[in-house]
Structure 1
């Protein structure tokens, strides 16, 4: 591990001079019920998860044309959309460390009519499967980038997509539901061929630089680290 930390710290120093400071980071951990709003096709409730009660949202539509829309205060550029031919209780759970989307076909709508994404913006999502069934994040609308996959709830990954044109964009989970930890919009992400993106001694670990609260950190699938290799999260 010490060698990995050293490589991360070295990569940090190599790229920190050109770091962007305008990245927006949304944290989906510990969202409280009072921050959540839902349209007429859903209702707020509570769910026991690992013996602890958490706020959740139930889907009431029972019709694929009835789209439930959920928004969270302070995560103002993201709307969660869901529809199905059946009701679902719960459909969304706001757990202490992540947002749990319980089934496939959830859509994350990023951007609004008032605040549009810009062509070339980069959207990164830290996520994993919600259980033993693989999660797949797909660039649904106005995005480019390969599908990102997590094999189970221990396999935390970072999906990255690039906005194609000014406006809104959509990311869709297409397989088995998903847990979302963070979303970063307009992060400064290096090319896949650079030392920061592929760390050989970490095998398949990916790393990228992200600005959080004015501080540049290195975010990997195994955690978030400072320039010295200390774990931040």
Structure 2
């Protein structure tokens, strides 16, 4: 008897998200960064790939699979399988279409069209976001704290600047609160260029009002 195949990274991520051990935000980068199996009718053209769409309950879903051995026989008949990065599949999905991962199996995961639109926004988000807290020094409002959010395959990582090129974990979850409740936060999100201006101030040990945001 053949031993079952070990879970791949995406299958593990889906299981952890289902069990509540992972937040949904942690599943998103795992899905977007994974090479999914998609099916097309006949032989796909190099410049035009039309993945299989399945329908359930009046909704339409792009069909994608975590591995070739997860494709049901009835789905694979007269179709070609090819690998496609999740980021490209999600980014190219039309409006009103969701995503079904491993459809036809007991552990299939369906992402409705509305959630897939949010996932597209996540896929186009910058890999690093910067935030500052300002305070008044010598009568001027200047940056006094810098935070950043890095997007990693395991999910967002929030940090606070200690010194030049030195960061520590944002254990009070200051950035997370600022992202979720911006009106209640004293942090302001700034551009990478503005963040570089602040880094220069830290290096010089001289702080002035931030001219660009």
Largest Rg, 1 or 2: 2
- Structure of higher RCO (CA pairs closer than 8 Å, 6+ residues apart): 1
Q: Which has the higher strand share?
A: 1
> Scaled by the length of structure 1, what TM-score is found?
0.25
Q: Which has the higher helix share?
A: 2
> Scaled by the length of structure 2, what TM-score is found?
0.27
